[in-house]
Amino acid sequence: MNTAVQTLFTPLSISTAPDSAKPILHKIQDSIGSIPLLMAILANSPTALVGYHALEAVWENGSFPARERHLVLLTVSVENKCSYCTTTHSLALAGNRRAALAVASSIRNDIPLPNAKHEALVTLVRELVRARGCPRLETIQQFLAVGYRREQVMELLIGIALNTISNYLARIWPMPVGDGMTSGGS
């Protein structure tokens, strides 16, 4: 890990965060019982923390079910080569752990998924990221052909933006994979 970069931003707790970041950190801790390292680092900029948290809330209340949201976020993480976020979203696919690991491995290795609807979703997200927002019409048509709606193409942009923020932050402040996933609360 680049310790020189890490000295720029220290993970903050509720007690050390700027006053304007404290309400969001309290809300996160009350909701999940701890403050994820990503949020503890974002707390260095209350504007970034509030913006990320608001975008995350919009994404979570969108039309995609939880599993599909995690497929989107995992795909973005893989495309942005963020090992921290790839690990986080691979674990979030849990349920049937073996099946989740197989799906995550397929996405990481660019192997088609057995579920045609999920494959169309992952393909469009991958293409949106790789082509910087310029997917082929046939990719969008395939997405629509498996049952997604036109407005969901735009909704994907929310998920891509959300995860790109965390992917880039994990590059600025390298987060250890499997270690330090959460910060102390107070």
Q: Which of 94-103, 158-167, 176-185 has the lowest mean pLDDT?
A: 176-185
Domain 66-172 class, CATH top level? mainly alpha
Q: For the chain, where do the domains classified as CATH 1.20.1290.10 start and end?
A: 66-172
Dump pLDDT digits (tens) for 34-67.
999 889 999 999 999 999 999 999 999 999 999 8
Q: What is the reported pTM?
A: 0.86
CB atoms within 10 A of CB 46: 18
Dump pLDDT digits (tens) for 66-89.
989 999 999 999 999 988 888 888
The 3-class SS string of 136-152 reads CHHHHHHHHHCCCCHHH
Dump pLDDT digits (tens) for 166-186.
999 988 887 666 544 444 444
Among 182, 145, 166, 147, smallest CA distance to 65 is for 147
